[in-house]
Structure 1
Amino acid sequence: MNDTTTTLDRLIAVVEALDPQLADADPDATYQALGLDSLTLTEISMRIESDFEVPVDDTEITEEFSLRSTARLVDDKLAHRTKEQ
C-alpha cells in the first residue's frame, strides 16, 4: 500500500463520517457528482487540517476535486512539510 492509498483510505473515512451514505463513493468521482456542497467541502478541509496536520485553504479543494485528487494534494503537502523539517 502506497502513501496515496493510505491517505485516500483516511479521506474516505473522513467523508463517511460526514455523510455515511458516501461509504461506497467512487474515489474518482468529483465532489460535485457526489452531491457535496461548499459547506461539506469546508468541513473536509478542516478535518484534513486536523487529521493530517497540514494547512488547507478553503479555495484549494473545489467541487471539481475527487477523493483521489484530494489525497494527492494532501500527500504533496505532507511531502513538502517533511522537506522543510
Structure 2
Amino acid sequence: MTQMPKEYYELLEELQVVDFVICDLTLYLDTHPDDYEAIEQYNQFVKKRKSVKKQFEKQFGPLTHFGYSYSNYPWDWKDAPWPWQV
C-alpha cells in the first residue's frame, strides 16, 4: 500500500463527503422536484465538487478516466496511485 501525504487523504475524504451530499440530494429531488432550496444546495455542491476535484487532480493526478479528467503532459494517468492503492 502506498503512503500518500496527509493532504491527499483530506482532499479525498472531502470529495467523498461532497459526493455523498450530491447523491442524497439527488434522491431527495427525485421525489421533490419543485424544492427550489434543495436544487440550490445541489448546484452549490456540484460546484464545490468540481473545485475540490480540480484541486486534488492538480496536486495528485487524475481521479477518473474516459474524458472526465484532463491529463498533464506527458500522459500521467499511470503515475498517480489508484484510490484503492492508498
TM over 0.5: no
TM-score range, shorter chain: 0.3 to 0.5
- Could you state the TM-score of these two structures normalised by the residue count of structure 1? 0.35
Structure showing greater radius of gyration is 2
